[in-house]
Amino acid sequence: MAKAGGITNAVNVGIAVQADWENREFISHISLNVRRLFEFLVQFESTTKSKLASLNEKLDLLERRLEMLEVQVSTATANPSLFAT
């Protein structure tokens, strides 16, 4: 009886250890995927910031250009005698 109880306990411990390893494996998979997701988020943040900076630069350039054109057009329309031939 004592031997049988000892074998049963050993089997239960082995099953528990195996379940524990399976849980650890699952947690490691989940943590790995979360880490990949985090890396993706970091990379996406940097890419988005770079795109936003480029877009902002283009918008600034376009705004200055439009202001210059607006001034030129207003100067040209303020002197209609230049167009009268």
Partner 1 sequence: METEISGMDNPAMTLDEVSMERNKSFVKALQELKNLRPQLYSAADYCEKSYLHSEQKQMVLDNLKDYTVKALVNAVDHLGTVASKLTDLFDHQNSDISTMEMRASCVSQQLLTCRTYIDKEGLRQQQLLAVIPLHHKHYILPNSVNKRVHFSPLRRTDTRQNHYQAISRLQPSDAPASKSLSWHLGSETKSTLKGTSTVAPSSKDSKAFSKTSGVFHLLGDDENIANKKPLAGSQVSGVPAASTAHKDLEVPKLLTAHRSLDNNPRREIIQAPVRTKSVLSAFFVKQKTPKLKAGYVS
**Binding region for partner 1 (CB under 8 A):** 23, 26, 30, 33-34, 37, 40-41, 44, 48, 51-52, 54-55, 58-59, 62, 65-66, 69, 72-73, 76, 82-83, 85
Q: Any idea what DSSP says for residue 83?
A: T
Compute the distance between CA of residue 41 and CA of residue 4 in angstroms, rounded to an integer: 55
Nearer to partner 1, 6 or 75 (CB): 75
83 Cβ neighbours under 8 A, 6+ residues apart? 76
At closest approach, how far in Å is the CB of 5 from partner 1? 23
